[in-house]
Chains A and B, each alone.
Chain A
Amino acid sequence: AQSVSQHNHHVILSEAASLELGCNYSYGGTVNLFWYVQYPGQHLQLLLKYFSGDPLVKGIKGFEAEFIKSKFSFNLRKPSVQWSDTAEYFCAVKVAAGNKLTFGGGTRVLVKP
């Protein structure tokens, strides 16, 4: 069974700082990759997804992620965060052609104004 690791449980940074959240998965086959975000008091929502093609994926709100197959990684980045990016971020992996998502443990990000 696949597993997903998010290296940082908590990240605190100031506005305008750059953000990078790590995500590694363990599965040797073809995967689909996702980043979800949960803002305080809101539904879990999709930030971006990778199925195939360009390994650099752009999502909503200025986020992007890069799939590096050789490193089994799908790290999330944002060059300049805002206070409104305070949220919990989840990486998720799905075996291609399947429907089951496996989530990482989540990273809580606090952006100080």
Chain B
Amino acid sequence: DGGITQSPKYLFRKEGQNVTLSCEQNLNHDAMYWYRQDPGQGLRLIYYSQIVNDFQKGDIAEGYSVSREKKESFPLTVTSAQKNPTAFYLCASSLGDSYNEQFFGPGTRLTVL
């Protein structure tokens, strides 16, 4: 089955700890994205990558970091510098050209205690 997987589904961490969220796709998509979803605010772009070994900051990149060493993988690290990390995180991918929509994974709900 082709698709996007995110793990884990639920994640709990203590304040001050870094945590890495996994995102894998087997759709052979060039572009991958990380969003944060908060109630009433829709989805906000954290980082995106249009090609392996390259990525750009989105609208709310502070306190986050990413890597894109492989086409199929785009992990997101939520660092201790992120002031309000508790949220629902969504990963997406697309073919990368302008005329294709983004496909979304199931999401990871991160709770920082």
Q: Which of A36-90 touch B at CB < 8 Å?
A: 36, 43-46, 49, 51, 90
Stretch of B61-69, B72-80, B91-99 at the chain-chain interface: B91-99
Q: With an 8 A cutoff between CB atoms, is A97 at the interface?
A: yes
Total number of residue pairs linking A and B with CB closer than 8 Å: 52
Report if A43-B104 is in contact (Cβ < 8 Å); known contacts: A96-B98, A97-B98.
yes
Q: With an 8 A cutoff between CB atoms, is B110 at the interface?
A: no
B residues near A (Cβ < 8 Å) are: 31, 33, 35, 40-45, 48, 50, 58-59, 90, 92, 94, 96, 98-99, 101-107
What would 13 more interface pairs be, CB under 8 Å, given A49-B101, A101-B43, A103-B42? A32-B98, A32-B99, A43-B104, A43-B105, A44-B43, A44-B90, A44-B104, A51-B99, A99-B31, A99-B98, A101-B102, A105-B42, A106-B40
